[in-house]
Structure 1
């Protein structure tokens, strides 16, 4: 979790799903977060495993998601251009990495496409997470972390590729 905590993901595992004193009940936590956790596992983690995502590809994906999500924020045109240039550089570095592994152009295109397509699942789950936290804040279901509230208020825009 963003705050360093963790929850069990196996069916029936109650680790991390306990009541939080003066904060949120176990039932409320499970109701709010389990569907999101399941979606994250099924749409992101299972997909990463299915394509056998390497550590290098994971790092590239993380960098692309970071740059893309930041470039959709309220930043200057010059900074957006800067970020897009660096995203192109990251993709070129991925291409060089694949070439160093001896992949042909078709394999490189396929792997690169898989990495880029992972971004849409990550952003979709991220948007659902933001919506969930906005509901928690709106209905005052429990007190959110101040940093998380700032991120929610700053985010909320849609991402296009």
Structure 2
């Protein structure tokens, strides 16, 4: 019975000692934000994304121009069976083309966003930030209603991007 009394203070000492050591490490507490869209647009190869978007728009606009009047006819109830069939065929073609361009755009954007994420992480660590939010997402979600301008890391991240 006397041995169990010996283990209680030793165990308590180990637990308390371990938690005190863990608390000595400085943990960043600053929370910042960036304008992610502005950072992505500042990336050197962003022009490739714009080119893909232009190509997509050039392919999709004629399809959209054909779909719009057919859709209006269908909604008004004056569409023939052929109009409805044409609409379904064109809608399918439009959806397939849109998916193709979306996939192509995402594939081109992925390496850019991965590189930007690394730059954001580096800049945040260098400046002592624990967390970085996307300014527009945080504001539109209601997550953040106010943020001081001094917490904006957008320009620092843009300056740190590869040239």
- Per the TM superposition, whether the score is higher than 0.5 is no
**Higher helix proportion:** 2
TM-score by length of 1: 0.37
**Higher strand proportion:** 2
Q: Higher Cα Rg: structure 1 or 2?
A: 2
